[in-house]
A and B are shown apart, each in its own frame.
Chain A
Amino acid sequence: MSMFFTIAAFLLIVIVIFQIAKASEYVSVLKGEEQSFKQSNKVNGALMIVFLILGLIGVYWCNKLLYPRTTLVEGSASIEGEQVDHLFWITLILTGIVFFATQILLFWFAFRYQYKENKKAYYFPHNNTMEIIWTSVPTIVLLILIVYGLRSWFLFTGDAPKNAMQVEVTGHQFQWNFRYPGADGVFGKKYFRDIDPANSNTLGLIWKDNGALKQKADPACFDDIITGTLYLVKNKPVELLINSQDVIHDVGLPQFRLKMDAVPGTPTRLWFTPKYTTEEMKKITGNPNYTYELACDQLCGNGHYSMRAVIEVVTQQEYDVIMAKQKPAYFAAFPDKDPANQQPAATDSTAAPAAATAAVRTTRDTAALALR
């Protein structure tokens, strides 16, 4: 029914518009072209100023309505991201001035200098002084913005602080996996031909010797923990080591103001320092459902829009508790190696890989070279 009314209303409008258009043709025949031109020119001139005023009111309303829904209200959730916001505000002020000045002049001039019969336009083909001013002023302003911006750019893309924790992020259609190095603090090696989701090896960690690929098992990956949620620690810098298994994805972190592509075959990095825990953010925003989300920001196929992961920012104590509960992925593939499934006699088997890790570490690096 409402569909019917919409269509009826639409048709009515169309008919009215065409009648007006037709009538205007007749009028111009009756009154003479000159006369009707003058009339419509006045109407359009008036509309210029109406549009300007309504437009400015519209900008104000739009801002009032939508600004509270942006993340600018609570500010950046990472310390580095504050610089993005800062730069944004500076740019907003500068471009805002230009925006209002030029739009107001544009529509004001259009209104003010509309056609009048006995008026002559002013022959004013060029003026060097004016042109030099409006070439050099924007250049200087832009150079200032560049200097400002590049300072942040080099910070973001520079090395992570020494105390940063590392998490490996892997994207594949249409999911994120996060790998923590486990107790030994070292990420074990992985290789894309070892990926075997059927046997729980979603990342291709080198758990076994493989003669065909000339690989030796890397004990450093026995304790690596793989999660579907990204756990971060408040005020502790984190460096994300990013890669992809299939197509290009992108680690988008809107609340932290950062993002970085995940490219198959070409690892990338990104680091930042979370400022508030998820719980704190719920209080700050007054939204009990507040969640940090990791959004894929590079079209990666038909499930792109669902490639979401949750980020939990917690305190160090909470983090330690969470990590203690996680089981290395290795044990999912080899349940018999899991100490929880073994007789008490075998307790020292957890120590063995750890000891082996140190010994293997040097050979690992040479093996890594051989692999690639």
Chain B
Amino acid sequence: MNNEAVIQTGAAALHVAGDHGEAHHHKQSFITKYIFSQDHKTIGKQFLITGIIWACIGGFMSVLFRLQLGFPDTSFPWLSTVIGHWAKNGHITPEAFYSLTTIHGTVMIFFVLTGGLSGTFANFLIPLQIGARDMASPLMNMLSYWFFFTASVIMLSSFFVQTGPFAGGWTAYPPLSALGDASPGSKTGMDLWLASLILFVVSQLLAGLNYISTVLNMRTKGMSMMRMPLSTWGVFLQAILGVLSFPVLFSGFILLIFDRHFGTSFFLSDIYINGVGALPHEGGNAILYQHLFWFLGHPEVYIVILPAMGIASEVMSTNGRKPIFGYSAMVMSMFAIVVLAFLVWAHHMFVTGMNPFLGSIFVLLTLLIAVPSAIKVFNWLTTLWKGNLRFTPGMLFAIGFVSVFISGGLTGIYMGNSAIDIHIHDTYFIIAHFHLVMGVAAFFGMFCGVYHWFPKMYGRHMNNTLGYIHFWITLVGAYLIFWPMHYEGLAGMPRRYYDYSTWESFKQFGELNKFISICVIITFAAQFLFLFNFFHSIFKGRKMTVKNPWKSNALEWTTPIKVGHGNWPGEIPEVHRWPYDYSKDGHDFIPQTVPVGEEDNPAYTSAAFTGIKVEEEQKRGVKA
């Protein structure tokens, strides 16, 4: 029976998974079960593990370049052993430094925090939380992973070309990225970078269309949109953002390829390269690329953070034993973010010489996008207020998420105001802003999700104590690393410099840079606690003994401990209420599958907030 049929006829699937439990097993070889799997849960895990591997690589790169930034005068002879000709005399070369920062940024944003985060949780959670047997198109879903995988392999291969990987920053602005003569990294390395990201865009489009159609069409009976957990809302909305903005990036990349190889002048004009001479290009506009890039680039940061917001909300409510405060405001503010995210991209370009009037419109829209973020923060705080908080590792990371999101989000208000941004643009202030609000926050969202849903993924528990230690070291480390960078930025210290020691204006931060680098090394090392915990627990973790260890209301915890293909052995459960009835009417929790009974206090189950159909509401009114 093919997957299409399984989806169409839920009952048939039951027969497969239900009657003799692992019936599916017989038909699947190792390859189709673990490698070319079409099961959304396996694909989710594939995204997760690929993301984890990339996070290790990207993190290790940051350790290497922080070594240069923290110790510009110290020679590390062992570096040559580790990275070969990329290091000379115990120092990373500038070429290697720029390649490392560039690839670090690219893989962290795209491969880890987009592929690894939304790829994992959208795949894993959507069908389980809305009550579907799988994604709308399991085949497309599988392809999305394998496009991602191929993109990863190509990106990795760029490390081994003669002229090195791309070194022009994750934003890849032309002309630098277009001209091999301007930077060795812009030769073959850039071709591979572009090929890799184009495949990645394809992967995201396949995945996004799938998430959207699954959420819209395959919700179980009673699961109205406004009864979906916020984690599903998060990945659903990020998919909409991605599907609408990735194609624009794609077009930018295509034009860039034309400029690189086919003699067009979309982005090139009036260029004279030392040692090469004047180039034939005339009439292009380098800034055009930036518009195309940031039209994705800005939504991208929300593509990264929306899933994290959703995950943190869900975990916080579950472990706070308290409904998420202002569910519909949470959904509405995420929706507002989606809309506004398309209208603010040029705030990354205030100093490109843009029309001042145009700039002022972007200031207005940019600062308005801070409002939905503020609403969410206040709602999270109120969710904690008068709760009964259980500090599972997931919960800790949810709280940490809110903290770093506040710290990083507030600095957005400085930069969104163009007059201040002129001063701090492209300084360490920006680095501090986006690492806190996006980097650390999204990583926390990811950790939060992994710790919380690990039992659902592998049927075992992770070690809590290691989780606690991991959390506290990472939280403290993240602040020690990124908080002081605000001060460097306020002194105008530019980002993307290989060495500051020759600058009168910036060399006063030498000691601080050393301190930050030491913190980076320690914090990076602490991530091995997570790695060990994760991989060890897959095989040796404490076995799950109950279906619903967190006493959660959400639907995924109604599946058996070992979830087979098709998710529910019997019929897919029907949903009767929203997922946040915690501590209501004297019940610790009321799962979504429990019908609205007579003893239910209708105060907070009004139609607007839980999506209960009007007739149902009236019926209950009559009874009461």
Q: Which positions in A face B, CB cutoff 8 Å? A: 10, 14, 17-18, 20-21, 24-25, 37, 40-41, 43-45, 47-48, 51, 55, 58-59, 62, 66-67, 69-72, 81, 83-84, 87-88, 91, 94-95, 98-99, 102-103, 105-107, 109-110, 113-116, 119-127, 130-131, 134-135, 138-139, 142-143, 145-146, 148-150, 152-154, 156-158, 172-173, 192-193, 195, 197, 204, 242, 245-248, 250, 252, 254-255, 257-261, 263-269, 289-291, 293, 295-306, 308
Residues of A within 8 A of B8 (CB): none
CB-CB nearest in chain A for B178: A247
Q: Are A123 and B323 in contact (CB under 8 A)?
A: yes
Q: Which 3 A-B pairs have the closest CB atoms?
A: A254-B492, A265-B269, A268-B353
Closest beta carbon of chain A to B600's beta carbon, Å = 12
Q: Are B371 and A149 in contact (CB under 8 A)?
A: no
Known contacts: A44-B396, A123-B322. The answer to whether A150 contacts B363 by CB under 8 A is yes
Q: Are A139 and B368 in contact (CB under 8 A)?
A: yes
Among A172, A257, A263, A304, point to the contact of B287 (Cβ < 8 A).
Answer: A263
Q: Are B351 and A124 in contact (CB under 8 A)?
A: no
Among A114, A135, A139, A261, point to the contact of B351 (Cβ < 8 A).
Answer: A261
Residues of B within 8 A of A250 (CB): 351, 426
Q: How many residues of B contact A (CB 8 A)?
A: 130
- Is B145 on the interface with A (CB-CB < 8 A)? no
Q: Are B413 and A156 in contact (CB under 8 A)?
A: no
- Is B12 on the interface with A (CB-CB < 8 A)? no
Residues of A within 8 A of B174 (CB): 247
Complex: how many Å from CA A123 to CA B584? 6
- Is B167 on the interface with A (CB-CB < 8 A)? yes
Q: Are B494 and A296 in contact (CB under 8 A)?
A: yes
- Is B209 on the interface with A (CB-CB < 8 A)? no
Among A84, A142, A248, A305, point to the contact of B368 (Cβ < 8 A).
Answer: A142
Residues of B within 8 A of A156 (CB): 419, 422
Q: Are B325 and A88 in contact (CB under 8 A)?
A: no
Residues of B within 8 A of A261 (CB): 351-353
Among B351, B498, B525, point to the contact of A260 (Cβ < 8 A).
Answer: B351
Q: Are B418 and A149 in contact (CB under 8 A)?
A: yes
Which of B41-49, B241-249, B401-409, B444-452 makes up part of the contact surface? B401-409
Q: Are A110 and B583 in contact (CB under 8 A)?
A: no
Q: Are B284 and A84 in contact (CB under 8 A)?
A: no
Residues of A within 8 A of B322 (CB): 121-124
Q: Are B465 and A125 in contact (CB under 8 A)?
A: no
Q: Are B479 and A72 in contact (CB under 8 A)?
A: no
CB-CB nearest in chain B for A116: B388
Residues of B within 8 A of A105 (CB): 381
- Is B464 on the interface with A (CB-CB < 8 A)? yes
Complex: how many Å from CA A109 to CA B174? 49
Q: Are A266 and B285 in contact (CB under 8 A)?
A: yes
Complex: how many Å from CA A306 to CA B475? 34
- Is B375 on the interface with A (CB-CB < 8 A)? yes
Chain B residues 504 to 560 lying within 8 A of chain A, measured CB to CB, are 504-506, 508-509, 512, 525, 528-529, 532-533, 542
Q: Are B351 and A259 in contact (CB under 8 A)?
A: yes
Q: Are B363 and A126 in contact (CB under 8 A)?
A: no
Closest beta carbon of chain B to A35's beta carbon, Å = 13
- Render B398-442 as a binary contact track against A, CB cut-off 8 A, 1 for contact: 010011001100110110011110110111000000000000000
Residues of A within 8 A of B95 (CB): 302
Q: Are B417 and A145 in contact (CB under 8 A)?
A: yes
Residues of A within 8 A of B413 (CB): 91, 94-95, 142, 145
Residues of B within 8 A of A267 (CB): 353
Q: Are B464 and A265 in contact (CB under 8 A)?
A: no
CB-CB nearest in chain A for B167: A302
Q: Are A258 and B417 in contact (CB under 8 A)?
A: no
Among B182, B389, B406, B411, point to the contact of A246 (Cβ < 8 A).
Answer: B182
CB-CB nearest in chain B for A265: B269
Interchain residue pairs with CB less than 8 A apart (5): A143-B367, A255-B492, A257-B422, A295-B505, A308-B502
Among A18, A131, A146, A298, point to the contact of B364 (Cβ < 8 A).
Answer: A146
Known contacts: A45-B391, A252-B492. The answer to whether A17 contacts B529 by CB under 8 A is yes
Q: Are A301 and B407 in contact (CB under 8 A)?
A: no
Residues of A within 8 A of B498 (CB): 302, 304-305
Q: Are A44 and B391 in contact (CB under 8 A)?
A: yes
Closest beta carbon of chain B to A337's beta carbon, Å = 24
Residues of A within 8 A of B509 (CB): 69
CB-CB nearest in chain A for B352: A261
Q: Which of B175, B184, B391, B585 gathers the greatest number of chain A CB atoms within 10 Å?
A: B391
Q: Are A83 and B419 in contact (CB under 8 A)?
A: yes
Residues of A within 8 A of B476 (CB): 51
Complex: how many Å from CA A96 to CA B272? 47
Q: Are B417 and A24 in contact (CB under 8 A)?
A: no
Q: Are B604 and A123 in contact (CB under 8 A)?
A: yes
Residues of A within 8 A of B542 (CB): 25
Among B176, B321, B414, B422, point to the contact of A259 (Cβ < 8 A).
Answer: B422
Known contacts: A99-B407, A103-B403, A130-B382. The answer to whether A297 contacts B176 by CB under 8 A is no
Residues of A within 8 A of B159 (CB): none
Complex: how many Å from CA A153 to CA B358? 11
Complex: how many Å from CA A300 to CA B94? 12
Closest beta carbon of chain B to A212's beta carbon, Å = 12
Q: Are A67 and B487 in contact (CB under 8 A)?
A: yes
- Render B154-188 as a binary contact track against A, CB cut-off 8 A, 1 for contact: 00000000000001110001111001001110000
Complex: how many Å from CA A341 to CA B336? 71
